[in-house]
Amino acid sequence: MKRILHALQNRFVLLLFSAFLSALPMTVPSLFFLSWFSFVPFFFVLGSAGGEGKFRSALGRGVFFGFFYHIFIYFWFWWLYPLEFTGMEKSAALGVVLLAWCGISLVHGALYAIPTVLCHFFARFVKSRPFLLCVGAFGILASQRMTELSQLAFPWVRVSLGQYRAPALIQSASLFGMEGLDLLILSVNVLLALLLFYKAKKRLLCASFAVALFLSNLAFGFVSLARANKGETVTVSSVQGCILSGEKWNGAQTAFDTYVSMTRECPDETELVVWPESAVPVNLATDPSLVSFYQELSEEVDSSILMGCFWKEQGITTNSAILLSPEAVSEPYHKKILVPFGERMPYRKWLSRLVPALGQINMLKNDLAPGTSTSLMDYSDRRIGAVICFDSIFPSVVRQSAKDGAELFVIVTNDSWYEDSPAVWQHLAHAVFRSVENGRSTVRCANSGVSAFIDEKGRVQSQLGPLEKGVLTDSVSFCENKTLYTAVGNVCFPVFGAALALWFCILAGREGLLCRKKKN
């Protein structure tokens, strides 16, 4: 017992424990409640370390926590092995998967030095633990923001992502986005961590504030869920062909036959059929006969068809989606955010030389071009916002679609690379948050799962699991009302930063004044 207690006093043991607890809800959504206190050991280390020790010690603590936090989440990279669709040798595939798992965990984990280094710096000027822990929370938000930058942008991990199966707890995302919920969860963790530093009266105060924050968020959730924002409904069939990566890229005929035959099997009440990302793995822009065939298919089944395809014009190839009906073909939506190493090679000049095997992961000979417009699709006097795969983990991209007038989101994706790993569920979780943030229903059509229908409150109405072949049919609503988040976007980060700056000035002024009085 003494050894256990002694180990728990070790800062790195506490950081490892906190990293593991915080990662669990991402993989096991039923453990969503852990997020509300899993960062307590991390904040306890921040508060107890303060400004003591050297800069490199603070740096090391942050990198250590961040690395293991992401290692525990990104273990699904092993589902990619042996990368058969690339034709890569198993030894090279093993190296690439290991590099991806550890490399991305290290890069993203290193960003968690931001909160520890900020606390180390500010502790030299002020001794307020509440302030320092709030700086730590701000640093975590900053580290998450950083993952959206550069050609390696991959904002997969979010503090609140594991809450997606608890609708009542995530409705506040409609106010200030996912980042606002992240801040709320971190604030509760900060208050609980302060219990470990204070005596009775202050402990009661901190505990009361933590409970009040949690219950206020929960109450808002229940009130929000009770309000109906639904409008006109449409019956949609999401076609999950379950064509794995190697099968798709070895020949397009399988995809043609599969999706055409499955579309003909859709229920009679279907009004809109959705095919996943790159369901048509050829260039539709230069094949009018194929477009005409799909229009005839649309007439045959008496349903419009929204499909993922490739689009090449003037030498530029894009990953796109179009809406077909017997009478018209919409302007294509072009995927805005391209997957690093999948659809484009980031920092091609030096990365291809440093790790040549990375170039084999991209199944396309040349990089695709990113889209620049939301390109809303008209459907029966309504507007559909198409979103393709990787786009859905960037809140600002989907928000722009709603801001431009989209009344329904349709996400088409190909997650076959991840088979039935936790990654497919984590990707679905992002779609749930996009619905809540913007108050829009979402039809999610995935090549091999998870296809799902999500209402405007983020509740999963129905789903078709990974590696299942079938047609999922349900009704979804068009919604016109705009949420506060759609109107103002991500404001929590700058507002919280400004509040901390003001707080620091006040604290620094008081402590400086006290020092001068003592000297006099």
CATH number for the domain including 442? Answer: 3.60.110.10
CA dihedral 212, 217, 222, 226 (to 10 degrees): 130
pLDDT higher than threshold 70 for residue 182: yes
Residues of the chain with pLDDT > 70, as a percent, come to: 91
Q: Total structural domains in the chain?
A: 2
Task: Provide the pLDDT for residue 401.
Answer: 97
In a domain, 395, yes or no: yes
The whole-angstrom separation of Cα 240 and Cα 448 is 6
- E-assigned strand segments in 241-341: 272-274, 280-283, 304-313, 316-324, 333-334
In a domain, 345, yes or no: no
The whole-angstrom separation of Cα 424 and Cα 90 is 24
pLDDT higher than threshold 90 for residue 172: yes
Structure tokens at 48: 């107890």
What average pLDDT does the structure give for the chain? Answer: 91
In a domain, 445, yes or no: yes
Q: Are residues 462 and 513 in the same domain?
A: no
Task: Provide the pLDDT for residue 249.
Answer: 58
- One-letter amino acid at 418 equals Y
| Structure confidence by residue, pLDDT tens digits, 401-445 | 999 999 999 999 999 989 999 999 999 999 999 999 999 999 999
Tokens 């998450």 found at? 144
The whole-angstrom separation of Cα 38 and Cα 41 is 7
Q: Are residues 462 and 376 in the same domain?
A: yes
Structure tokens at 441: 């229903």
Q: Are residues 279 and 390 in the same domain?
A: yes
Q: Are residues 392 and 505 in the same domain?
A: no
Q: What is the CA 221 to chain-centroid distance, rounded?
A: 21
Q: Taking the model in full, what pTM does it have?
A: 0.94
In a domain, 357, yes or no: no
| Structure confidence by residue, pLDDT tens digits, 135-164 | 999 999 999 999 999 888 999 999 999 999
Q: Are residues 118 and 211 in the same domain?
A: yes
Tokens 């198993």 found at? 90
In a domain, 347, yes or no: no
Q: Which of 152, 364, 402 is CA-nearest to residue 278?
A: 364
Q: Are residues 204 and 331 in the same domain?
A: no
Say which DSSP state 74 is in.
Answer: G
pLDDT higher than threshold 60 for residue 6: no
pLDDT higher than threshold 60 for residue 244: yes
The whole-angstrom separation of Cα 490 and Cα 3 is 46
In a domain, 343, yes or no: no
Q: Are residues 427 and 508 in the same domain?
A: no
In a domain, 355, yes or no: no
Q: Are residues 261 and 197 in the same domain?
A: no
Which residue did the predictor score with more confidence, 348 or 138? 138
The whole-angstrom separation of Cα 145 and Cα 368 is 25
Omega before residue 188 within 30° of 0, cis = no
Q: Are residues 39 and 139 in the same domain?
A: yes
Average pLDDT for 311-327? 93
In a domain, 292, yes or no: yes
Q: Are residues 299 and 194 in the same domain?
A: no
The whole-angstrom separation of Cα 193 and Cα 494 is 24
Q: Which domain holds residue 222?
A: 2-226+490-519
Q: Are residues 290 and 144 in the same domain?
A: no
Omega before residue 82 within 30° of 0, cis = yes
For residue 171, give Cα distances in angstroms to 160, 214, 437, 454.
12, 12, 8, 14
Task: Provide the pLDDT for residue 201.
Answer: 84
Task: Provide the pLDDT for residue 287.
Answer: 87
Question: In the 3-class helix/strand/coil scheme, how is 294-311 assigned residue by residue?
Answer: HHHHHHHHCCEEEEEEEE
Q: Are residues 8 and 89 in the same domain?
A: yes
